[in-house]
Amino acid sequence: MKKLKVSLHRSTIGTTDRQKATVKGLGLRKVGDVRVLDNTPAIRGMIRRVLHLVDATEIDSELELG
């Protein structure tokens, strides 16, 4: 199963409340945080809303997680 590796690379200072809530919903708190999330349409939609703040790459879960 494919997963998404999402990292916050820009600060949420100066963004809208909705964008801040989306970043928090992805589990990212500060610049440099990285999360491995399931590849679902809901997660992809959240990433699309804050694409200018995050980096997202698709990974193979068996290889990354051991």
The pLDDT of 53-66, averaged and rounded, is 80
Q: List pLDDT tens digits, range 25-53.
A: 999 999 999 999 999 999 999 999 999 99
| Residue 55 lies in domain | 2-64
Structural domains of the chain, count: 1
Quick one: tokens of 7? 């990292």
CATH number of 29's domain: 3.30.1390.20
The pLDDT of 8-20, averaged and rounded, is 97
Provide the CB-side half-sphere exposure for 7 (13 A, CA).
Answer: 8
